[in-house]
Amino acid sequence: MLPDMFEEALLATCGEFVICHKLEQPWPDAPMEYGYAVSGMDGLKEYMGTPEDIIAHVGAAPVLVTHLAPLSRAMFEAMPTLKMVAVSRGGPVNIDMAAARDHNVLVVNTPGRNSSAVAEFTIGAILAETRNITRGHDALRKGNYRGDLYRADVAGNELSDMTVGVIGHGTVGSKVVKLLRPFGARILVSDPYVQLDPADAEAGVQMVSFEQLLAEADIVTLHPRVTAETQNMMNAKTLRTMKPGATLVNTARGPLMDYDALFDVLREGHLRGAMLETFAIEPTPPDWPLLQLPNVTLTPHIAGASLKTVRTATKKAAEEVRRWLAGDPPLNPCWGPHGKSRKNSTSGDYR
């Protein structure tokens, strides 16, 4: 999410009506702040930058386009000329939305900007774990040519012979379903807040309960938002409800899972394996137990990282700025003078 790319999109969309002042921060080469306990930043998460630096950079500008800059109540109070914030992500978790409302600041976001990237990555994650790609790679790196991975009792199955359970049928989950269909897998979906696409239903995709999905799926892949309802949904009880020998894939969010319980069921062999793209703590501690297990594929929260993601986010943010300048209503208001607060279902993506 380089500032130059946002500037290019803003100039192309808004022309001479905008002047850009850019601030580049060290993410992703340096980790963002994930916590809730930083003094003065109550409720904010997944952000980068200090209030002093952000306030100094914004100055008297009426519009801020950002990916990770924090915006707390005290910061809104220190920037009285700020009228609009375009945050280039699926959910404005780095912004105090109540404070934005109180200061009459329009906040817009770019939902779905990385949905295709995450969906494609999920298919790769499933294949990497179920077909022993990670195990073979790790062994070869250590000079061990594992011919035993060809053994019938070790080799993974094909998607065309497995049942895949997709939890959450929002922008990412629905794309995962469409990508899975050509593989010939039996596909189960669990999401109490949406209905299946008619084309998916005609292709044999089934909407089932959460409990049925866990009991029948050979692969369970997570795609809900983090809400009070979904937080810790994969816990000691539900993990043991999963079909013995199944594989769990999480390319969504860390708070969906109890990682200690996952370690137990993987170590004991109740689950065949797991693919983890997000974690309870990021960056992961070097001594984290899950890093030591041989039946886990791990990536450092990169499922949404693609050039298309950036191009989509910059275009969406620039169009929102153009509409604000023209006095038109926003397309994706989180809250603001032109729209009410959007309540989040369990579906979708907060990446």
User: What pLDDT, on a 0 to 100 scale, did the predictor assign at position 336?
Assistant: 54
What angle is formed at CA 143 by the lines to CA 137 and CA 146, rounded to 5 degrees? 60
Count how many domains the chain has.
Answer: 2
Quick check: is 139 in a domain? yes
Q: Active-site residue 253, yes or no?
A: yes
Residue ranges with strand state E in the chain: 63-66, 84-87, 106-109, 163-167, 186-190, 206-207, 219-222, 247-250, 273-276, 296-298, 333-335
Regarding whether 316 and 282 lie in a shared domain, the answer is no
Quick check: is 350 in a domain? no
Quick check: is 179 in a domain? yes
Regarding whether 281 and 177 lie in a shared domain, the answer is yes
d(CA 82, CA 147): 62
d(CA 331, CA 121): 27
Regarding whether 229 and 144 lie in a shared domain, the answer is yes
Question: What's the N-to-C CA distance of the chain in angstroms?
Answer: 13
Quick check: is 347 in a domain? no
Q: Active-site residue 113, yes or no?
A: no
Regarding whether 188 and 78 lie in a shared domain, the answer is no
Amino acid making up residue 103: H
Sign of CA dihedral 67, 73, 77, 78: negative
Regarding whether 292 and 150 lie in a shared domain, the answer is yes
Quick check: is 184 in a domain? yes
Regarding whether 196 and 107 lie in a shared domain, the answer is no
pLDDT tens digits, one per residue of 10-33 = 999 998 778 999 999 998 888 888
Element housing 260 (H / E): helix 259-268
Q: Which domain holds residue 289?
A: 115-298
Regarding whether 197 and 67 lie in a shared domain, the answer is no
Quick check: is 244 in a domain? yes
Which of 223, 225, 253, 323 does the annotation list as catalytic?
253
Regarding whether 70 and 139 lie in a shared domain, the answer is no
User: What pLDDT, on a 0 to 100 scale, did the predictor assign at position 213?
Assistant: 98
Regarding whether 87 and 50 lie in a shared domain, the answer is yes
Quick check: is 351 in a domain? no
Regarding whether 99 and 17 lie in a shared domain, the answer is yes
Q: Active-site residue 240, yes or no?
A: no
Residues of the chain with pLDDT under 70: 35-36, 335-351
Regarding whether 319 and 240 lie in a shared domain, the answer is no
Q: What is the CATH number of the domain that holds 202?
A: 3.40.50.720
> What token pair was written down for 260?
């200690």
Quick check: is 344 in a domain? no
Regarding whether 322 and 266 lie in a shared domain, the answer is no
Which of 301, 320, 323, 351 does the annotation list as catalytic?
301
